[in-house]
Amino acid sequence: MIDFFLYDDVEDTQTRYVSFVGEHGRYDLAIIQTGRYFGKSLVLNTQSSRFGIIGSDDLEEPGYIAHILDYDDDQAAEVESFLSEVIV
């Protein structure tokens, strides 16, 4: 039995599904924009089932995308390049 909810909200979101191929691999992402994460986007790597809440400031953190989305450094650089055009 559930004693209490911390929150239980329903919100309209904008979701973008994108798949692309770079020099170092194929990438399948879902990018969910919502008001919940202070302007950041929820980015899902649908190949590894890893996700992160990512904003433009996170794209500047060395190694963050590689760690949070489970990519090697070369793959992460390709995904960062794409996300820097999509996430503002």
19-54 pLDDT, tens digit per residue, is 999 999 999 999 999 988 998 999 999 999 999 999
Number of domains in the chain: 1
Is 6 part of any domain?
no
Place 55 in a pLDDT band, splitting at 50, 70 and 90. Answer: very high
Is 40 part of any domain?
yes
Quote the pTM value: 0.89
Is 59 part of any domain?
yes
Look at residue 3 and tell me whether its pLDDT is greater than 90: no
Is 77 part of any domain?
yes
> Mean pLDDT score of the chain, rounded to an integer?
95
Give dist(CA 83, CA 55) in Å, integer: 9
Look at residue 7 and tell me whether its pLDDT is greater than 90: no
Is 24 part of any domain?
yes
Is 78 part of any domain?
yes
Signed CA dihedral, 9, 5, 42, 31: sign only: negative
Place 62 in a pLDDT band, splitting at 50, 70 and 90. Answer: very high
Is 31 part of any domain?
yes
Is 5 part of any domain?
no
- The domain in which residue 26 lies consists of 14-86
